[in-house]
Amino acid sequence: MILDLFCLDGRAAVVTGASRGLGRAVAEALAEAGADIVLTATRPCAQTADAIRALGRVAVDLPADVAAPDTPQRIVAATLERFGRLDILVHNAGVIRRADFLNHTDEDFDRVLDVHLRAAFRLGRAAARPMAAAGGGAIVHIVSMLSFQGGIRVSSYAAAKSGLLGLTRAMANELAPLNIRCNAIAPGYMATDMTAPLRDDERRNAGILERIPAGRWGRPEDLKGAVVFLASPASAYVNGAVLPVDGGWLAR
């Protein structure tokens, strides 16, 4: 049956940036499909963990700065120790720094690239090794509309998310022979803490809504179906793809 292909029973997943917003929704979706989850973020993921345990799944809360050089291997080791396997990795952790290009600092640029891009490289490499040894897995990167566009006052974020989409495709090319699929989800304008400054700006908010054919900001739960699809056998022949979940933003 087709619905059986979306089942994640017995799988172990890692979700970064899982304390709130998109990361929490992604982790809950994987758990709803049957996976046990290692949750990581710079702050504890207690609420997400409680929601997953309420579903009858196992949640491991592992606070960490994903950009620290030793964090990726620590996350993978903790996952293997607890579950004996690692089947799914979703790299969602993110930060944003808003500033005019002429005033954007080196420190802010480096921090944004470290969290979004360098961490994805290190964590993907660390996760792919046990996946390959076990016969395969699925890696999903959360990219952005700014993987396609330049944005305003977010040059480091646009650079990081564009790079992350390129990394997704490069990883897909090399990991496919190992039965590891690497794909991306590009959320549109989502109502999260990160976008609060845009929603609070009456002019920007109106301009964004005017362009979205769906006529509303996205909600974190709008990502649930997409991530389960890309993490599950239902997408067995999907590799190196990016799935926009944007209410039609890119089509306008």
Q: What is the DSSP string of the chain?
A: -GGGGG--TT-EEEEESTTSHHHHHHHHHHHHTT-EEEEE-SS--HHHHHHHHHTT--EEE----TTSTTHHHHHHHHHHHHHS---EEEE---------GGG--HHHHHHHHIIIIIHHHHHHHHHHHHHHHHT-EEEEEE--GGGTS--SS-HHHHHHHHHHHHHHHHHHHHHGGGTEEEEEEEE-SB-SGGGHHHHHSHHHHHHHHHH-TT-S-B-GGGGHHHHHHHHSGGGTT--S-EEEESTTGGG-
Stated pTM of the model? 0.96
Residues 153-174 have a mean pLDDT of 98
User: pLDDT digits over 177-196, tens only?
Assistant: 999 999 999 999 999 888 88
Rounded Cα distance between 205 and 197, Å, is 9
Alpha carbons 87 and 231: distance in angstroms, whole number: 9
Q: Answer yes or no: is pLDDT of 215 > 90.
A: yes
The span from the CA of 249 to the CA of 81, in Å, is 42
Q: List domains and CATH numbers for the chain.
A: 2-244 (3.40.50.720)
151-170 average pLDDT score: 97
β pairing state of 88-91 and 12-16: parallel
Query: Which residues are catalytically annotated?
Result: 157
Please say if the pLDDT value at position 197 is more than 90: no
Q: Write out the two tokens for 233.
A: 């056998």
- Would you say 86 and 80 are in contact if contact means Cβ atoms under 8 Å apart? yes
Q: Long-range contact list for 190-196, CB < 8 A, 24+ apart?
A: 190/21, 190/22, 190/217, 190/218, 190/219, 190/220, 190/222, 191/217, 191/218, 191/219, 191/220, 192/20, 192/21, 192/22, 192/220, 193/20, 193/21, 194/21, 194/94, 194/96
Q: What is the pLDDT of residue 154?
A: 96
How many whole angstroms separate alpha carbon 231 and alpha carbon 106?
Answer: 35
CB 78, CB 38: distance < 8 Å: yes
Per-residue model confidence (pLDDT) at position 59: 98
Q: What pLDDT shows up at residue 160?
A: 98
Average pLDDT, the chain: 97
Q: What is the mean pLDDT of residues 72-81?
A: 98
Q: Which residue has the tokens 């396997």?
A: 85
pLDDT tens-place string over residues 96-125: 999 999 999 999 999 999 999 999 999 999
Residue 17 has pLDDT above 90, yes or no: yes
The answer to whether 42 and 49 have CB atoms below 8 angstroms apart is no
